């Protein structure tokens, strides 16, 4: 069993990523040469007014997604899944970000990833002014914080988790 990953974020508070979610993310590592990129949506719960966030669910890749070795296109099917989860949780579990995998040990975002994240920050409906973005690499998982702003969204690396084999 994987332990929870915790990240303290300046001017926000503690983000907790459940061990169960980390295990699910690890299942999507691109370890085989033919393994495609996978991705989906991160779902979490705002636990209190002090900024504590528990990210504990994801939407898995859908048949309507487009997946290649070094590409992933998230279909609108994820929006339906997030809405269903939100309704079933009495509007408690909500959209908090995006995740996808990369075929590299320690993942870095591409220009296409950055554009996707900026679009999410400016066009999506979500609570507050932040979204979180996860890339699952072969040996590490990294998380970035995206902040919606009047000029241009800001994206910064906030954490790195080493996957223990």
Tokens of 5: 């990953």
Instruction: Give yes or no for a contact between 28 and 136, defined as CB atoms under 8 angstroms apart.
Output: yes
C-alpha–C-alpha distance, residues 39 and 7, integer Å:
21
Asked whether residue 128 carries a pLDDT value surpassing 90, the answer given is no
Average of pLDDT values for 14-34?
Answer: 96
C-alpha–C-alpha distance, residues 38 and 15, integer Å:
23
pTM of the model: 0.94
Helix (H, G, I), strand (E, B) or coil at 78: helix
pLDDT-derived band at 110, boundaries 50, 70, 90: very high
pLDDT at residue number 2: 85
Instruction: Give yes or no for a contact between 92 and 45, defined as CB atoms under 8 angstroms apart.
Output: yes
Helix (H, G, I), strand (E, B) or coil at 1: coil
19-41 as b/e: b if 16+ CB within 10 A: eebbebbbebbbeeeeebbbbbb
Instruction: Give yes or no for a contact between 42 and 98, defined as CB atoms under 8 angstroms apart.
Output: yes
Tokens of 15: 């983000």
In sequence order, which residues have a C-beta less than 8 Å from that of residue 59 and are 6 or more positions away? 40, 41, 43, 78, 81, 82
pLDDT per residue as tens digits for the range 53-109: 999 999 999 999 999 999 999 999 999 999 999 999 998 899 999 999 999 999 999
């Amino acid at each position: 069993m994987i332990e929870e990953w915790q990240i303290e974020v300046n001017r926000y508070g503690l983000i907790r990523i459940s061990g169960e979610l980390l295990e699910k993310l690890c299942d999507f590592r691109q370890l085989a040469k033919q393994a495609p990129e996978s991705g989906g949506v991160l779902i979490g719960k705002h636990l209190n007014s002090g900024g504590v966030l528990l990210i504990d669910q994801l939407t898995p890749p859908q048949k309507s997604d487009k997946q290649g070795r070094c590409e992933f296109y998230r279909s609108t099917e994820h929006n339906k899944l997030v809405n269903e989860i939100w309704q079933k949780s009495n509007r408690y579990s909500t959209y908090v970000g995006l995740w996808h995998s990369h075929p590299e040990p320690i993942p870095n975002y591409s220009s296409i990833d950055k554009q996707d994240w900026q679009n999410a920050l400016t066009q999506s409906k979500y609570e507050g002014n932040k979204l979180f973005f996860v890339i699952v690499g072969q040996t590490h998982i990294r998380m970035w914080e995206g902040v919606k702003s009047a000029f241009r969204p800001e994206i910064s690396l906030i954490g790195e988790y080493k996957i223990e084999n």
